Amino acid sequence: RKEVEQDPGPFNVPEGATVAFNCTYSNSASQSFFWYRQDCRKEPKLLMSVYSSGNEDGRFTAQLNRASQYISLLIRDSKLSDSATYLCVVRRSSASKIIFGSGTRLSIRP
């Protein structure tokens, strides 16, 4: 079983829609959580960190459920420019590796 699992998608939604995807992680000792965004043939870039209490950044909301070991990302009022692959990222501690999920592909149609 992979340490970080994501639905690969693709999610194909119309502009303006709300879309959400989850990510599950297997190691309960994980301490830090992030969402990265990767455009086609580009490097990953940090979208947002995920905090225990949940956090929002504009149209993006991230939540963490430690009991069930999953992280979610909600995108409201989706834009064409949101089309990308969203990578779920987990880290146990400062001394440990940072693990990426396989990514969820999102495509926004006009």
Partner 1 sequence: GAGVSQTPSNKVTEKGKYVELRCDPISGHTALYWYRQSLGQGPEFLIYFQGTGAADDSGLPNDRFFAVRPEGSVSTLKIQRTERGDSAVYLCASSLTGDRNSPLHFGNGTRLTVT
Size of the site for partner 1 (CB under 8 A): 27
For 5, residues 6+ apart whose C-beta sits below 8 A from its C-beta are 23, 24, 25, 26, 101, 102
15 or 100, CB closer to partner 1?
Answer: 100
Among 20, 98, 107, 109, binds partner 1 (CB under 8 A): 98
Least distance between partner 1 and beta carbon 41 (Å): 9
How far is the first Cα of the chain from the last one, in angstroms, to the nearest whole number? 37
* Contact status: 93 vs partner 1 (CB under 8 A): yes
62 token code pair:
């991230």
Tell me, rounded to whole angstroms, the distance of Cα 85 from its chain centroid: 9
The residues of the shown chain that bind partner 1, judged by CB under 8 A, are 4, 6, 8, 31-32, 34, 36, 42-46, 49, 87, 91-103
